[in-house]
Chains A and B, each alone.
Chain A
Amino acid sequence: MAVNTKTSLKKRDSDLANINKQMAILNGEPFSNGELPSFAKKIKDTTDQFPLRPKKLEIIQVNVGYMCNQVCAHCHVDAGPDRKEIMTRETMDKIVNVIKTTGAHTLDLTGGAPEMNPDFRYFVEQASAAGIKDFIVRSNLTIIRANPKYHDLPDFFKKHNIHVVSSMPHWTRGKTDTQRGDGVFDKSIKALQELNERGYGMPGSDLRLDLVYNPSGAYLPGDQASMEKDMKAALLEDFNIQFHNLFAITNLPIARFLDYLVASENYEDYMYALVDAYNPAAVENVMCTNTISISWDGWLYDCDFNQMLDLKIDNKIQHIDDYNEDLINNRKIQISQHCYGCTAGAGSSCQGVVA
């Protein structure tokens, strides 16, 4: 079913804008009636990882706001132009202080479209001066072409040696546009070409450009390596575009993707598919085991998905104001049935497969 979402769930005043309703679905059938095992039971029965706990902190993922120039049908953030949740400079400064002392090697900025935060450039400058090995910005590509004030982003990224990670769901026009909205494809292609011109994504270049692929519908991604091969060949042949790696990411049943699954009567089949594809070997490397996620208003979460479900970390410390890496690393991770999205097949995380 082609879903053209024009507004966020929040703006539509949809039932699922209410997080409790989302949790009720995830805790309901086919789990509540025992047809499928809960995620907790599954990992208890098949691994020695229960309760799930973090290992060494490697990645700090910061969500600088839910505002976005796009309204993708699969978005787990329910992002869109109408979302007003935006990180302030004050919170950014607190995060910069954390970066100065953290043991993590990667800072990962996400949103929404992070570039739409009015203090985005300020934050990038401060954070990169604070020193971090790998500095990722998740850019949806079209933002670069959305408005003249963003046209210089490729140069800005290059100046700060930003590692750009961008979404490119499918290399045929139709698929990208049903998932992400009309015109997304052409703008994305143009943006990729501009990044390539600056040296991003070129073979041997230190300017990293990775692409993210999400399925545009109620199915799981295929094998990451073969999709990468196909996508590289097609983008090179059709548009002379190059990139480094492809991350195949499973859509998690949260926010707009959950809404789509329910509305298209695919929810139950999708959950069965996730549970069927459950891979115990993926559990020990799920993203929350090496990541901490910080929301626009400074709350701490196990991952960006838990952030959207408002499942704050299970710890005395829950906010950036009281940040203490040793203390927060000693916690149990908050899990629910959406976690099956991270353990299907070769596993899935913001850095692609994990097993």
Chain B
Amino acid sequence: MYENRLAVVERFFYALMNKLILVTKNIIMDKTYYDPKDLRKFGKITEWSEELGTKFFDYYGQVFEEGELTAREKSLIALAVSHAVHCPYCIDAYTGDALKRGITKGEMMEAVHVAGAIQAGATLVHGVQMMNKVNKLEM
């Protein structure tokens, strides 16, 4: 009898804990702009503007087809650009795509460094503008 009651109490606390975890999860979700699950809904953008959405997806599909660049090369470019434009959906998508194509971790990281180097260079090359301005202003 006593053991039974203990089991009931145990179950109650267990249920309460689960509920709490769920509520906390929901609060966190509600306050986050990015939800990884939204990537799956990408196709739904056509629902509010069929013509433009369809045109975009047709174009997108064609861009990634094997062409003068291989699909593999395009995948690596897309991975690097995803980082440069800070798009978490794109990073998820093209990391998966790279693995699928047998692209190695080393190749993936090198592509990200290309994006990083261009971004750093883009910042630093503006240093010339700063230098020009200083040289103009100073006597």
Report A's interface with B, CB cutoff 8 A: 170, 172, 174, 215, 217, 219-223, 226-227, 230, 269, 272-273, 276
Contact between chains at A219 and B102 (CB < 8 Å): no
Shortest Cβ gap from A271 to chain B (Å): 11
Shortest Cβ gap from A287 to chain B (Å): 22
Chain B CB within 10 Å, residue with most, of A220, A226, A272:
A226
B104 contacts the other chain (CB 8 A): yes
Contact between chains at A219 and B40 (CB < 8 Å): no
From B36, B99, B104, contact of A217 by CB (8 A): B99
Contact between chains at B99 and A172 (CB < 8 Å): no
**Top 6 A-B residue pairs of the complex, sorted by shortest distance between their CB atoms:** A222-B100, A222-B101, A219-B99, A219-B100, A219-B96, A272-B40
Please provide the chain B residues from 99 to 133 with a CB less than 8 Å away from any CB of chain A in the complex.
99-102, 104-105
Pick 15 A–B contacts, CB within 8 A, sort by A.
A172-B104, A215-B99, A217-B99, A219-B99, A220-B100, A221-B100, A222-B101, A222-B102, A223-B101, A226-B72, A226-B101, A227-B102, A230-B102, A272-B40, A273-B96
Contacts of B105 in A (CB 8 A): 174
Report B's interface with A, CB cutoff 8 A: 36, 40, 71-72, 96, 99-102, 104-105
Specify the chain B residue showing the minimal Cβ separation from A213.
B102
Specify the chain A residue showing the minimal Cβ separation from B95.
A219
A227 CA to B72 CA in the complex, in Å? 11
A219 CA to B94 CA in the complex, in Å? 12
Prevailing SS type, chain B contact patch = helix
Specify the chain B residue showing the minimal Cβ separation from A221.
B100
A269 CA to B105 CA in the complex, in Å? 21
From B36, B100, B104, contact of A215 by CB (8 A): B100
A174 CA to B105 CA in the complex, in Å? 10
Contacts of A273 in B (CB 8 A): 96
A333 CA to B96 CA in the complex, in Å? 32
Specify the chain B residue showing the minimal Cβ separation from A345.
B100
Chain B CB within 10 Å, residue with most, of A174, A217, A219:
A219
Contacts of B96 in A (CB 8 A): 219, 273
Shortest Cβ gap from A73 to chain B (Å): 15
Contacts of A269 in B (CB 8 A): 36
Shortest Cβ gap from B12 to chain A (Å): 23
Contact between chains at B102 and A170 (CB < 8 Å): yes
A11 CA to B110 CA in the complex, in Å? 41
Contacts of A220 in B (CB 8 A): 100
Contacts of B104 in A (CB 8 A): 172
Shortest Cβ gap from B46 to chain A (Å): 15
Contacts of A223 in B (CB 8 A): 71, 101
Shortest Cβ gap from A275 to chain B (Å): 10
Specify the chain A residue showing the minimal Cβ separation from B66.
A226
Contacts of B99 in A (CB 8 A): 215, 217, 219
Contacts of B36 in A (CB 8 A): 269
Shortest Cβ gap from A93 to chain B (Å): 43
Contacts of A174 in B (CB 8 A): 105
Shortest Cβ gap from B78 to chain A (Å): 15
A212 CA to B63 CA in the complex, in Å? 30
A222 CA to B36 CA in the complex, in Å? 22
Chain A CB within 10 Å, residue with most, of B72, B99, B102, B104:
B102
Contacts of A272 in B (CB 8 A): 40
Contacts of A226 in B (CB 8 A): 71-72, 101
Specify the chain A residue showing the minimal Cβ separation from B70.
A226
Contacts of A219 in B (CB 8 A): 96, 99-100
Contacts of A276 in B (CB 8 A): 40
A170 CA to B104 CA in the complex, in Å? 10
Shortest Cβ gap from A215 to chain B (Å): 7
Contacts of A217 in B (CB 8 A): 99
Known interface pairs A219-B100, A222-B101; 9 further A-B residue pairs with C-beta atoms within 8 A, sorted by A's residue number:
A174-B105, A219-B96, A219-B99, A220-B100, A221-B100, A222-B102, A223-B101, A226-B71, A273-B96
A219 CA to B98 CA in the complex, in Å? 10
Specify the chain B residue showing the minimal Cβ separation from A170.
B102
Contacts of A221 in B (CB 8 A): 100
Shortest Cβ gap from A347 to chain B (Å): 16
A217 CA to B96 CA in the complex, in Å? 10
A3 CA to B11 CA in the complex, in Å? 32
Shortest Cβ gap from B121 to chain A (Å): 31
A230 CA to B100 CA in the complex, in Å? 13
Shortest Cβ gap from B118 to chain A (Å): 27
Shortest Cβ gap from A154 to chain B (Å): 27
A217 CA to B98 CA in the complex, in Å? 12
A25 CA to B100 CA in the complex, in Å? 25
